[in-house]
Amino acid sequence: MRYIYGLIFLAILSSCKNEKTEVTPVAEQEPETIDSLIYPEEKHFKSIRQITFGGDNAEAYWSFDDNQIIFQSNNTKWGLECDQMFLMNADETFDAKIPPMISTGKGRTTCAYFLPDNKHFVYGSTHLGGDKCPAAPLRREGKYVWPIYESYDIFVADLEGNIVGQLTTEPGYDAEATVSPKGDRIVFTSMRSGDLELYTMNIDGSDVKQVTDKLGYDGGAFFSPDGTKLIFRSSRPKTEEEIKEYKDLLAEGLVQPTNMELFICNADGSDLRQLTNLGNANWSPFFHPSGEKILFSSNFEAERGFPFNLYMIDLDGKNLERVTHGETFDAFPVFSNDGKKLIFSSNRNNGGGRDTNLFIAEWQD
């Protein structure tokens, strides 16, 4: 449930930062070639390639062998009314043709992630709650909200789209599953305790363990390269007013993601600590291949909540560095398993429209 839809509204409605945080500039370096998709300041990108053209495309994740990618899209030109899952080879692009859909085509789906055999994947789906897309929440004046559909459960499917297993059966929201690079555990977000907490389980759904237990939305979690740590986003209400608002929205199956910070902990939940304290929305974190830094999306520098760019920060919260320099939206950064490439979603090169497409960049430190 790491939504992109309406994020422009999030940017407009989110609160302004209270203080200026200094960002380390990227070291000066002359690029070998000029790439029209790379902004001049984006020194970590050696090259970049656009792989989708139209609609909202996000949540793109690599197979363990880096040969294939699963992503979600709501491209209406593909006959979609809400998010479904699609498969592509890592060297493909999808402009004039439609990639193979590997979800059921029923309900709404989110957060697909390959299993280590490269032949199966896990994902969240509402299809057991009905064939139609669940209704989007009504707009609320002055608020941007995400729906937490209680019909979400986590399933295992093969690359032809056949569901071969169901990993969660608890009442309420279960989604946002990602797999450890070690291939042994899955982390996911669940409402089974009455709040949105993180849990881990074996890849067959057994040995479920609760990771977080503090009030607030804990989600979008990823394992470190060695599988020992978790990075995630959280909205942790503190004042009585914030707590009441959070609980009231949650009772309606909603969360407000305009104020989120990043937290890090061991995979069992121990040594939990807050990594960022930037203000506004800090989210979609992912470990750098070294395991010593976090790449994430944020609008903390935006005076009016806009734009979102990618940043990088050390595990001790130091050496914050801006990575992308767009004027609209960059998010969902995910490194390939060999650490050589980064896939992310961006509004760049969309002709000034609202399409959010996928891009693959060659990464250089």
What would the DSSP string read from start to end of 91-122?
T--BSSS-PPB-S-SSS-EEEEEE-TTSSEEE
Q: Where are the domains of the chain?
A: 7-363
Q: What is the pLDDT of residue 304?
A: 76
Model-wide pTM > 0.85: yes
Please give the CATH topology (third level) of the domain spanning 7-363. Answer: Neuraminidase (2.120.10)
Q: What is the pLDDT of residue 143?
A: 80
Q: What is the pLDDT of residue 5?
A: 44
The answer to whether the beta carbons of residues 289 and 311 sit under 8 Å apart is: no
Around Cβ 61, how many Cβ atoms within 10 Å? 22
Q: What is the pLDDT of residue 1?
A: 52
Alpha-carbon distance of 126 to 118, in angstroms, equals 24
Which stretches in the chain have pLDDT values below 50?
2-22, 24-33
